[in-house]
Amino acid sequence: MQIERKEKVGLLLGLVGVICFSLTLPATRIAVEYFGATVVGLGRTIVASILVILVLIIRKEKLPSARQFKSLVIVSLGAVLGFPLLTSWAMESLPVSHGAVELALLPLATAGFAILRAGEVPSLKFWISSIVGSLAVIIYAAYLGFGQLQYADLALLGAVIILGLSYAEGGKLAQELGSWQVIAWAIIIAAPFFIVPVFLNVTGEMLHAPLTAWVSFIYLAVVSQFLAYVAWYSGLAMGGISRVSQIQYLQPFLMITFAALFLNESITLFTILMAVVVVFSVIFGKNAAVVKKGLHQ
């Protein structure tokens, strides 16, 4: 009973994280127009590091071990460097709805890396629900007629792969280091390397950016880069990486909804229908059996 309750809390925390992440692309689309990809993609980490340092000092957290440090580098490369920078660059030329559909492949990437890095073995039921969800977003993409892949598309696909690895590694490490500590130390590791490139790309004109751009940037730094990961990694650790990762199927449709609200991008009946299909795939897959290697033959 206690295990079941822990898994439910994990799923709830995962949902909170996904909702927060769903505002990331819309916020990036707004901020990148005024600050550029480098400042938005890397600068958010520098701002987040200030908050993280204060939290670590107040809580008197111990330094990670050498083994944990290696895993933190992987998390840092994906969640702190690769994903923010690649998506910021892509959002300079692509609409949020475009990026949202491609990022829908993230649950499969996360589950795949979970098998390699965390020793989880998703069942056939899990994979069926994953395939159904993936097909839904592929059909959605084909319907919108995105055409040939652009360099920005390749950047988004690269972001999916590197973040999938980061999620799986971070979810595993969170079980021993702590959920929020994972992203906190990953930010601390990366921030010093970002200071010079961000400084070189800062201009005086950025001071005159509108309030919406500044609010978007602050959201990316405080919520998307830190607080959302606290909820997300807690969910992965408590509910299981493969199972909780399926909640990400909701993310593209939440992104499209937020894009419609804040960016006036259109939302169609077909989008709603595809969202329903994806939601049912999540409901179907969240109760699928997931076991550890060596515990099930």
pTM of the predicted model, to two decimals?
0.82
Q: Strand pairing partners for 178?
A: none
Instruction: Report DSSP state, residue 148.
Output: S
- pLDDT grade, residue 229 (50/70/90)? confident
When mean pLDDT is compared over 75-84, 160-169, 176-185, the highest value belongs to 75-84
Backbone angles phi, psi at 296, to 5 degrees: -145, 135
Write out the DSSP string of 216-284: HHHHIIIIIIIIHHHHHHHHHHHH-HHHHHGGGGGHHHHHHHHHHHHH-----HHHHHHHHHHHHHHHH
* Non-local CB neighbours of 132 within 8 Å, separated by 6+ positions: 277, 281, 284
pLDDT digits (tens, 9 = 90+) for 91-115: 988 788 777 877 877 877 777 787 7
Q: Where are the domains of the chain?
A: 1-286
In angstroms, the Cα distances linking 68 to 14, 54, 90, 120, 152 are 23, 21, 31, 19, 33
Rounded distance between C-alpha atoms, residue 258 and residue 60, angstroms: 38
Percent of the chain predicted with pLDDT > 90: 41
Rounded distance between C-alpha atoms, residue 271 and residue 104, angstroms: 13
Least confident of 9-23, 38-52, 141-155, 189-203: 141-155
* Non-local CB neighbours of 136 within 8 Å, separated by 6+ positions: 274, 277, 278, 281
